[in-house]
A and B are shown apart, each in its own frame.
Chain A
């Protein structure tokens, strides 16, 4: 059955790709097996991260950007993440509302995902979905995060180029100079440039970016857009291509990707340890001593770690 599914996948069946993403998202044994097979086929797609506050226009910008990419005949995959409720586990995935134009394009695949507990702006499954769409033959992948605040910087561990979208009216030059999300952008977009004082936002951003950025040798451009009209979006695509060329010509892309892969592996190690901790060892006895204030949290954590490392995995 898996062979059949993979055959359809390689023949370009979107339904097969969608079903594989579901298996991967639910982290089933079959999903893991498929990832083992697909990972060696990946590494071809160029990944663009799209991040910024809720309502800043990430999905609308993605819609306009993908249309331009399609004019150049690139195959494009989009993974758009929206928040999962920490209370009910449900999610309202609304990014497609802005992307209706793309639904019928045979060269575009869009998948909406809930964060399912991940607080970094993406989801575990979003990473694996990108692996699937990479193997599916997409030339460009766009990873759209949830609406981000100041410190959800995970998209930088996924994307080759990060676009940070902001809008007028969100704050002054001190906000622009803060650490965290403002540091991960390779391209800055001031969307809804027809509203408020967009030029001032551009000046704030440029003033802080002139003091230095993540990649030595790359000055992040600040671009004004009105995404729903498509105004300025061509410049955004040009900036993506320019950043890609910069990374390739400076010989930085391979190193960047390796650093990300290492991060991907280490995160999984962390998660597996946590899963084992949550499933394997007895936390109850230690916790009740914390509840009674006999043990402090640090000592309790050390005890749990010790007992996990000493126990054998089945």
Chain B
């Protein structure tokens, strides 16, 4: 089976990367190839990296409250430049009431505090489109 390639990124002026690193490590242990791009990335940088790395999943982390602006921007650029096949998920400190709008914008799932790593990994494995053997 083709390996799942995931980009884990922190967008915006938010240096709280502990969660993103825990997630990246968990994806690694789940057998995925995880490209970690570090903190303070612009949506444009994230999407440029996602393209060059040809990832199947983009995982965004935000704890700064700017998710309403940054996540939809990434989703829009990913869909425009890479098509609909790429799965986009988010996590961090995201109020319940913001989730419907994020989903509307193309973030397939949002994982808040307390979500188990297994739940996130299972969701990705169930929803990712790694395509044919090409």
Q: Known interface pairs A19-B54, A88-B28, A88-B29. Does A100 touch B36 (Cβ–Cβ under 8 Å)?
A: no
Whether A21 pairs with B2 at a CB distance below 8 angstroms is no
List the B residue with the shortest CB-CB distance to A112.
Answer: B35
Whether A90 pairs with B82 at a CB distance below 8 angstroms is no
Pick the contact of A104 from B31, B33, B44, B82 — CB < 8 Å?
B44
Q: Does A301 contact B (CB under 8 A)?
A: no
Q: Known interface pairs A15-B81, A23-B134, A26-B134. Does A104 touch B35 (Cβ–Cβ under 8 Å)?
A: no
A93 to B49 alpha-carbon distance, docked (Å): 12
The number of inter-chain residue pairs (CB within 8 angstroms) is 91
Whether B48 pairs with A103 at a CB distance below 8 angstroms is yes
Minimum Cβ distance to chain B for residue A35 (Å): 13
List the A residue with the shortest CB-CB distance to B82.
Answer: A15
Task: Mark A98-142 against chain B: 1 for CB-CB distance below 8 A, else 0.
Answer: 001001100001111010000000000000000000000000000
Q: Does A89 contact B (CB under 8 A)?
A: yes
Minimum Cβ distance to chain B for residue A238 (Å): 28
Set of chain A residues within 8 Å of B29, measured between Cβ atoms: 85, 88, 90
Pick the contact of B38 from A21, A26, A97, A111 — CB < 8 Å?
A97
Pick the contact of B133 from A15, A28, A84, A112 — CB < 8 Å?
A28
Whether B38 pairs with A88 at a CB distance below 8 angstroms is no
Instruction: Identify which of residues 26-77 in chain B touch chain A, using a CB-to-CB cut-off of 8 Å.
Output: 27-38, 40-41, 44-45, 48-49, 51-54
Set of chain B residues within 8 Å of A283, measured between Cβ atoms: none
Set of chain A residues within 8 Å of B36, measured between Cβ atoms: 92-94, 96-97
Set of chain B residues within 8 Å of A114, measured between Cβ atoms: 3, 33
Q: Does A69 contact B (CB under 8 A)?
A: no
Instruction: Identify which of residues 1-31 in chain A touch chain B, using a CB-to-CB cut-off of 8 Å.
Output: 14-15, 17-19, 21-23, 26, 28, 30-31
Query: What is the interface of chain B, defined by CB distance below 8 A to chain A?
Result: 2-3, 5, 24-25, 27-38, 40-41, 44-45, 48-49, 51-54, 81-82, 133-134
